[in-house]
């Protein structure tokens, strides 16, 4: 149930928690912010957190754990094999997903690595609604190719469609037949499709995908890292789900997908990761990779205190008051920016508010990296660290040419239970100022470009001196304010 305010003009999302610990933040003067982003090669990943006021880079591993999660971490059984902690995690997975077979891994991309090692090879094709950076990198590293079969509606920046992450089901059927089932590595559904704005997939679409996979005899895989956001949207946007319990949706999905994996840095607000299945066949196909790459089968590279926190967090992910906090605060920020005229992805998805950098600087060519440029500019404007989700987050084609992103997005992640409403108001204010001064934003060019996952490590420099001009305009408009 939504909480309505008596005075409608005061209506805001309401925190369903209280803060019991704080961490001091600092906001550098604009001249220092200019210096820091240039020293970081205009890559927000390379900024030092001490130089960041609001860290909106990601919600991965930086969500605030609950008091019960911290308390549970103190009962951890720190043994290499036969750990009671693992049994508690296994029980939590059984209670939430209804699955019996559980493989722990140190985080989500470790699960992607194991799936790639087991199922991807030259000549194989991994089908996805939309790729994620590391998922694609692992598949291609093992020689497979990746194809995206998302419904075209997902690439429309602003629409009324509630489920823009859906598969194009007709294309899925066709491609499986064309490729041949033996050449399909797996069909992956990403809940809360990251690179197009955290857009959800409907329950109807997910179940239809698994029906097609079962009919065609191919492996179905659910990336459930952002599933709790996705379930929030199912509950609020999909008629079928309105009166379903959250746990019923988890278990229904697990009944239909062959394999489920997730990053517990997102799902459960702890750290680590899990691969799970109802079918022993898939467990046995993957289990030998755990000791090889991660650790023993009862800890998988995760420290046991984290595992205890994960178990509690999984139970908490069944609570709508917990899982609503991210989407509702993201929606508030996105709607505030939309009211200012700032181009954002609508309807808002999970994970964060996504600025449409392609509309922010519409005349900037892809090879000057608009999303990265907007991100660098936003740090200068407000000490706010976002993440580039555009062409820099892609990888070059085998012949060295750029693969330009369908959408150039600057993601402002909203870690759960971390920021106050006044801090989100600050973000909206600084983005609005940047939007009003967008004519000052120029492009970037590479100075160091790694071959793989360049958005993590690469460095760029401004083309011209637009960043100095932006900092000067800030000082002129804000005086001695930070």
Active-site residues: which are they?
80, 132-133, 223, 266, 389, 455
Question: Using CA atoms, how far apart are residues 316 and 310, in angstroms rounded to an integer?
Answer: 10
Question: If you write DSSP's letter for every residue of 158-171 in order, what string do you get?
Answer: B-S-S-TT-B-HHH
- Alpha-carbon torsion 479, 418, 3, 339, what sign? positive
* Number of other residues whose CB lies within 10 A of the CB of residue 230: 32
Dihedral of the alpha carbons of 261, 266, 269, 272, in degrees to the nearest 10: 50
Question: Using CA atoms, how far apart are residues 192 and 201, in angstroms rounded to an integer?
Answer: 7
Widest pairwise Cα distance in the chain:
66
Tokens of 82: 């036969």
**Pairing outcome for strands 352-356 and 384-385:** unpaired
- Asked if residue 43 lies in contact with residue 385, where contact means CB atoms within 8 angstroms, the answer is no
- Asked if residue 293 lies in contact with residue 113, where contact means CB atoms within 8 angstroms, the answer is yes
Tell me how far CA of residue 418 lies from CA of 170, 318, 332, 351, in angstroms.
41, 20, 15, 13
User: HEC string of 367-435?
Assistant: HHCHHHHHHHHHHHHHCEECEEECHHHCCCCCCCCCCCCCCCEEEEECCCCCCCHHHHHHHHHHHHHHH
- Give the count of alpha carbons within 13 A of 54, CB side only: 27
Helix H or strand E encompassing 292: helix 289-293
Question: Using CA atoms, how far apart are residues 88 and 117, in angstroms rounded to an integer?
Answer: 28
Owner of token pair 């077979």: 101
Beta strands in 179-312 (DSSP E): 184-190, 220-223, 259-263, 273-277
Q: Which of 179, 171, 184, 181 is nearest to 124 (CA)?
A: 184
Tokens of 109: 């991309």
User: HEC string of 7-41?
Assistant: CHHHCCCCCCCCCCCCCCCCCCCHHHHHHHHHHCC
Q: Which of 373, 393, 375, 397 is nearest to 384 (CA)?
A: 375
């Amino acid at each position: 149930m939504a909480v309505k305010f008596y005075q409608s003009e005061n209506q805001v999302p309401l925190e369903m928690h209280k803060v019991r610990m704080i961490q001091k933040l600092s906001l550098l003067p604009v001249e220092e912010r200019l210096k820091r982003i240039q020293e970081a090669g205009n890559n927000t990943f390379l900024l030092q957190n001490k130089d960041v006021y609001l860290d909106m880079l990601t919600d991965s591993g930086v969500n605030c754990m609950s008091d019960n999660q911290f308390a549970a971490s103190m009962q951890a059984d720190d043994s290499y094999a036969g750990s009671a902690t693992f049994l508690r995690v296994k029980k939590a997975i059984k209670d939430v997903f209804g699955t019996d077979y559980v493989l722990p891994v140190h985080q989500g991309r470790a699960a992607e690595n194991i799936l790639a090692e087991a199922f991807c090879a030259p000549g194989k094709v991994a089908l996805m609604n939309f790729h994620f950076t590391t998922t694609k990198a692992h598949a291609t590293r093992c020689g497979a190719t990746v194809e995206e079969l998302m419904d075209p509606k997902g690439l429309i920046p602003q629409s009324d469609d509630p489920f823009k992450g859906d598969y194009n089901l007709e294309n899925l059927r066709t491609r499986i037949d064309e490729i041949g089932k033996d050449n399909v590595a797996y069909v992956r559904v990403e809940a809360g499709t990251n690179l197009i704005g955290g857009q959800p997939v409907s329950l109807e679409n997910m179940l239809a995908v698994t029906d097609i996979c079962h009919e065609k005899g191919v492996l179905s895989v659910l990336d459930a890292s952002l599933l709790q956001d996705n379930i929030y949207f199912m509950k609020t946007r999909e008629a079928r789900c309105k009166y379903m319990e959250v746990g019923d949706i988890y278990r229904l999905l697990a009944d239909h997908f062959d394999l489920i994996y997730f990053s517990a840095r997102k799902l459960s607000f702890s750290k680590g990761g899990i691969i799970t299945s109802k079918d022993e066949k898939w467990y046995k196909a993957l289990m030998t990779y755990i000791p090889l790459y991660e650790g023993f089968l009862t800890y998988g590279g995760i420290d046991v205190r984290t595992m205890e926190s994960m178990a509690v967090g999984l139970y908490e992910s069944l609570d709508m008051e917990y899982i609503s906090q991210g989407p509702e605060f993201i929606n508030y920020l996105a709607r505030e920016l939309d009211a200012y005229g700032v181009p954002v992805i609508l309807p808002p998805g999970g994970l964060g508010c996504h600025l449409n950098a392609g509309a922010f600087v519409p005349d900037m060519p892809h090879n000057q990296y608009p999303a990265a440029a907007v991100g660098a500019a936003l740090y200068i404007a407000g000490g706010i660290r976002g993440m580039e989700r555009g062409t820099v987050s892609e990888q070059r084609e085998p012949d060295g040419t750029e693969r330009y992103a369908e959408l150039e997005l600057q993601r402002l992640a909203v870690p759960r239970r971390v920021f106050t409403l006044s801090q989100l108001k600050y973000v909206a204010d600084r983005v609005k100022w940047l939007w009003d001064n967008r004519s000052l934003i120029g492009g970037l060019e590479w100075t160091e470009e790694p071959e793989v996952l360049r958005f993590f490590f690469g460095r760029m420099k401004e083309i011209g001196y637009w960043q100095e001009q932006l900092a000067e305009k800030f000082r002129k408009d804000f005086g001695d304010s930070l």
